[in-house]
Amino acid sequence: MNEIKSVGVIGAGQMGNGIAHVAALGGYRVALHDISRDRIQSGLATITGNMSRQVASGRIEDAERKAAVERINAADNLDDLSEMDLVIEAATENEQVKKKIYAQVCPLLKPEALLATNTSSLSITRLAAATDRPERFIGIHFMNPVPVMDFVELVRGIATVDETFNLAKAFIDRLGKVTAVAEDFPAFIVNRILLPMINEAIYVLYEGVGTVEAIDVAMRLGANHKMGPLQLADFIGLDTCLSIMQVLHDGLADSKYRPCPLLVKYVEAGWLGRKAGRGFYDYRGEVPVPTR
- Name the DSSP class of 136: G
Band of residue 6 on the pLDDT scale cut at 50, 70, 90: very high
The maximal CA–CA distance of the chain, rounded, in angstroms, is 57
pLDDT tens-digit readout, 86-125: 999 999 999 999 999 999 999 999 999 999 999 999 999 9
Q: Which of 120, 121, 123, 199 is catalytic?
A: 120
Residue 95 to residue 246: CA distance in whole angstroms: 12
Decide which of 1.10.3720.10, 3.30.420.40, 1.10.1040.50, 3.90.280.10 is the CATH code for 190-290.
Answer: 1.10.1040.50
Assess whether 225 carries a catalytic annotation: no
Q: Quick one: pLDDT at residue 91?
A: 96
Q: Which of 123, 141, 199, 243 is catalytic?
A: 141
pLDDT tens-digit readout, 210-228: 999 999 999 999 999 999 9
By DSSP bridging, strand 6-10 and strand 114-117 are unpaired
Its CATH architecture, for the domain 6-182, is 3-Layer(aba) Sandwich (3.40)
Assess whether 118 carries a catalytic annotation: no
Q: Where are the domains of the chain?
A: 6-182, 190-290
pLDDT tens-digit readout, 128-145: 999 999 999 999 999 999
Least Cα distance to 151 among 122, 123, 173, 124 occurs for 173
Global pTM reads: 0.92
Q: Which of 17, 33, 89, 153 is catalytic?
A: 153
Assess whether 121 carries a catalytic annotation: no
The β-bridge partners of 282 are 278, 289
Backbone region of residue 273 per phi and psi (left: phi > 0; alpha: psi in -120 to 50; beta: other values): left
Assess whether 191 carries a catalytic annotation: yes
Q: Answer whether 6-182 and 190-290 agree in fold.
A: no
Handedness of CA 158, 161, 167, 173 (dihedral sign): positive
Q: Quick one: pLDDT at residue 193?
A: 97
The arithmetic mean of pLDDT across residues 49-77, rounded, is 97
Residue 256 to residue 203: CA distance in whole angstroms: 12
Helices (H), the chain: 14-25, 37-56, 62-71, 95-105, 124-128, 162-174, 190-206, 212-222, 229-236, 238-252, 261-269
Q: Quick one: pLDDT at residue 233?
A: 98
Band of residue 55 on the pLDDT scale cut at 50, 70, 90: very high
Band of residue 15 on the pLDDT scale cut at 50, 70, 90: very high
The arithmetic mean of pLDDT across residues 30-36, rounded, is 97
Taking each helix axis from N to C end, the angle separating 238-252 and 261-269, rounded to the nearest 10 degrees, works out to 140
pLDDT at residue 1 above 90?
A: no
Residue 137 to residue 93: CA distance in whole angstroms: 17
The arithmetic mean of pLDDT across residues 221-243, rounded, is 96
pLDDT tens-digit readout, 181-199: 999 999 999 999 999 999 9
The arithmetic mean of pLDDT across residues 255-272, rounded, is 98
Q: Quick one: pLDDT at residue 75?
A: 97
